[in-house]
């Protein structure tokens, strides 16, 4: 049964569509939704954060803040996928040399499907990056870059041997002054002798010690065990002493599997660690969200601890989109490995079409990162043709579901294990637009509705509840958004799109 709040909100979203509103709900994350492996940089009085995008394009979303609490998305590192890479865009690392911004990032090389580290540069922190290709191609895997300046000498560190039959190591190498090539031979900072996992490292220097912070355990999925640990040495090359009190950051009542972050000075001079964590309620449905923790030093020459943060005034965003601008909103992303979408916004209408990779059973998607595990998504489809078009909750090209219109029908559909199925259909009037609604309940049951004109909502149902629990992928949350499947000469025409979070 729908709550009174839900009924009111559904009526509001049908008749009013301002661009972006904020739901007044503090979720604890400063960058809600799937924003894993974040890196942060301070430029004068502004902060910029960049995070993993995995298999979504544009690659590496960038956010800006004035206080490390309230963030807004301002761009992407790559609006065009780098030529050398095929996917797995992980763990971007910010750095600045003189007036140039650097992003060191992980991606899979097309030639051998191996994850290596590339580098890109720009005169701006959130746009205009030029890719320079692979910087580190080491063994069977080189990921998670981090840059450290030690009295003018640049070093780059990274995770190695994760796919070899030997312990993982954090390796380091001298980096050229221009940040674009390695110098000398790589050296080992720390070896994972206990085989607990080790990655996502960052370094601070204090009181003559180099403190190496790193993440241990399983990063991803419902069964994750991520936590943050620390070791220290008198020389950057080691040997490092592992702290006996590890882990120093793990979980609390609401969040778990914290890890993989970098440090930045706050407005008050305090040291903050931007990292990710899973919400214990929504877990993989909202992904690894952007969190912040303060690092404090209880005593001189002592080990650091993380101080719990009480984040207030941070809101979880709803979406209210009426397509009134000339270009699509920055939050939209798509599955670049499996489709090439075409979009146009004109006079309050979003036109969506495009082409798909052979074997793609789902079609084209234009999606946003969910920030809640319980939401209502709605859109209005203006046109009728042979293409299937409407709403989708999308995990990957072989795992998706949705509701859409096709000819004179509304269709509830599902793609599971790369097999497309129409689960339910109902006739509609081809002379009227169709309003669609998809609800994700807290138990991950999906409910589907449609309406035309002034009629009430009609449920499109199946014999068994439709569950979304098959959608999440290992390293990323499913996405909510718009859908098109059909001849690329046709299109879907949308008048509005909303997501209301609970």
Mean of per-residue pLDDT scores for the chain = 94
The pLDDT-based confidence of 313 (bands split at 50, 70, 90) is: low
Please check whether residue 43 is in contact with residue 318, taking contact to mean a CB–CB distance below 8 angstroms.
no
338 in the same domain as 221: no
Last residue of a domain, one of 257, 286, 314: 314
Residue 110 sits in a domain whose CATH number is: 2.115.10.20
What is the DSSP pairing of strand 339-346 with strand 349-356? antiparallel
Please check whether residue 90 is in contact with residue 143, taking contact to mean a CB–CB distance below 8 angstroms.
yes
The pLDDT score that the predictor gives to residue 18 is: 32
377 in the same domain as 301: no
b/e sequence 403-438, b meaning 16+ C-beta within 10 Å: bbbbeebbbbbbbeeeeeeebbeeebeeeebbbbbb
Residue 301's domain spans which residues?
26-314
pLDDT digits (tens, 9 = 90+) for 332-344: 999 999 999 999 9
b/e sequence 63-85, b meaning 16+ C-beta within 10 Å: bbbeebbebebbbbbbeebbebb
- Total domain count for the chain? 2
In a domain, 2, yes or no: no
Q: How much of the chain exceeds pLDDT 90, in percent?
A: 92
Q: Which of 175, 68, 67 is nearest to 117 (CA)?
A: 175
Last residue of a domain, one of 269, 295, 314: 314
Q: Which residue has the tokens 């998706």?
A: 400
Q: Is the pLDDT of residue 9 over 70?
A: no
241 in the same domain as 328: no
C-alpha–C-alpha distance, residues 145 and 151, integer Å: 19
497 in the same domain as 369: yes
Question: Can you say whether residue 225 is alpha, beta or left, with left for phi > 0 and alpha for psi between -120 and 50 degrees?
Answer: alpha
pLDDT digits (tens, 9 = 90+) for 16-56: 333 333 333 445 899 999 999 999 999 999 999 999 999 99
Which residue did the predictor score with more confidence, 463 or 2?
463
DSSP 8-class letter at 282: T
The pLDDT score that the predictor gives to residue 310 is: 67
What is the DSSP pairing of strand 399-406 with strand 409-416? antiparallel
b/e sequence 444-453, b meaning 16+ C-beta within 10 Å: bebbbbbbee
Last residue of a domain, one of 254, 280, 314: 314
405 in the same domain as 461: yes
Tell the burial category of 260 from Cβ atoms under 10 Å away from its Cβ (0-12, 13-18, 19+). buried
The pLDDT score that the predictor gives to residue 308 is: 75
pLDDT digits (tens, 9 = 90+) for 145-182: 999 999 999 999 999 999 999 999 999 999 999 999 99
303 in the same domain as 331: no
190 in the same domain as 102: yes
In DSSP terms, which residues pair with 15 in a beta bridge?
none
C-alpha–C-alpha distance, residues 368 and 399, integer Å: 17
310 in the same domain as 354: no
Residue 327 sits in a domain whose CATH number is: 2.60.120.200
pLDDT digits (tens, 9 = 90+) for 78-99: 999 999 999 999 999 999 999 9
Average pLDDT estimate for 466-483: 98
The first and second tokens of residue 480, run together, are 């909510």
């Amino acid at each position: 049964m729908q709550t009174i709040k839900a009924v009111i909100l559904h009526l509001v979203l049908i008749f009013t569509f301002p661009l972006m509103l904020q739901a007044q709900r503090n979720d604890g994350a400063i960058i809600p939704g799937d924003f894993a492996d974040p890196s942060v940089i301070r430029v004068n009085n502004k902060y910029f954060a960049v995070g993993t995008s995995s298999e979504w394009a544009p690659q590496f979303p960038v956010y800006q803040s004035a206080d490390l609490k309230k963030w807004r998305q301002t761009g992407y590192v790559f609006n065009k996928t780098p030529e050398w890479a095929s996917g797995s865009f992980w763990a971007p690392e910010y750095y600045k040399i003189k007036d140039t911004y650097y992003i060191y990032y992980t991606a899979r090389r097309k030639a051998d499907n191996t994850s290596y580290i590339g580098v890109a540069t720009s005169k701006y922190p959130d746009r205009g990056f030029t890719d320079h290709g692979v910087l580190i191609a080491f063994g069977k895997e080189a990921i998670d870059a981090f840059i450290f300046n030690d009295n003018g000498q640049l070093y780059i560190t990274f995770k190695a041997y994760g796919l070899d039959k030997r312990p993982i190591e954090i390796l380091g190498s001298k980096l050229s002054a221009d940040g674009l090539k390695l110098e000398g031979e790589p050296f080992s900072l720390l070896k994972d002798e206990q085989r607990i996992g080790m990655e996502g490292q960052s370094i601070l220097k204090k009181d003559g010690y180099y403190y190496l912070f790193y993440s241990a355990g399983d990063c991803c999925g419902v069964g994750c065990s991520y936590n943050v640990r620390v070791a220290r040495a008198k020389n950057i090359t080691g040997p490092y002493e592992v702290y006996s009190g590890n882990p120093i950051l793990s979980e609390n009542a609401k969040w778990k599997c914290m890890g993989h972050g970098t440090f930045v000075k706050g407005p008050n001079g305090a040291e903050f660690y931007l990292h990710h964590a899973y919400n214990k309620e929504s877990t993989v449905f909202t992904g690894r969200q952007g969190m912040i923790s303060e690092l404090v030093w209880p005593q001189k020459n002592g080990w650091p601890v993380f101080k719990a943060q009480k984040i207030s005034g941070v809101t979880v965003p709803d979406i209210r989109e009426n397509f009134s601008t000339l270009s699509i909103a920055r939050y939209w992303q798509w599955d670049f490995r499996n489709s090439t979408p075409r979009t146009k916004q004109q006079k309050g209408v979003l036109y969506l079409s495009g082409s798909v990779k052979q074997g793609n059973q789902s079609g084209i998607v234009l999606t946003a990162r969910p920030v809640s595990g319980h939401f209502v998504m709605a859109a209005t489809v203006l046109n009728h043709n042979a293409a299937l078009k409407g709403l989708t909750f999308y995990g990957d090209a072989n795992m998706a579901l949705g509701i859409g219109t096709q000819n004179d029908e509304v269709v509830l559909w599902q793609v599971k294990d790369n097999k497309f199925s129409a689960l339910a259909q109902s006739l509609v009037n081809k002379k009227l637009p169709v309003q669609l609604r998809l609800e994700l309940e807290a138990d991950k049951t999906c409910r589907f509705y449609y309406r035309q004109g002034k009629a009430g909502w009609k449920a499109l149902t199946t014999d068994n509840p439709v569950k979304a629990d098959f959608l999440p992928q290992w390293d990323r949350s499913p996405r909510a958004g718009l859908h098109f499947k059909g001849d690329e000469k046709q299109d879907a025409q949308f008048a509005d799109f909303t997501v209301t979070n609970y």
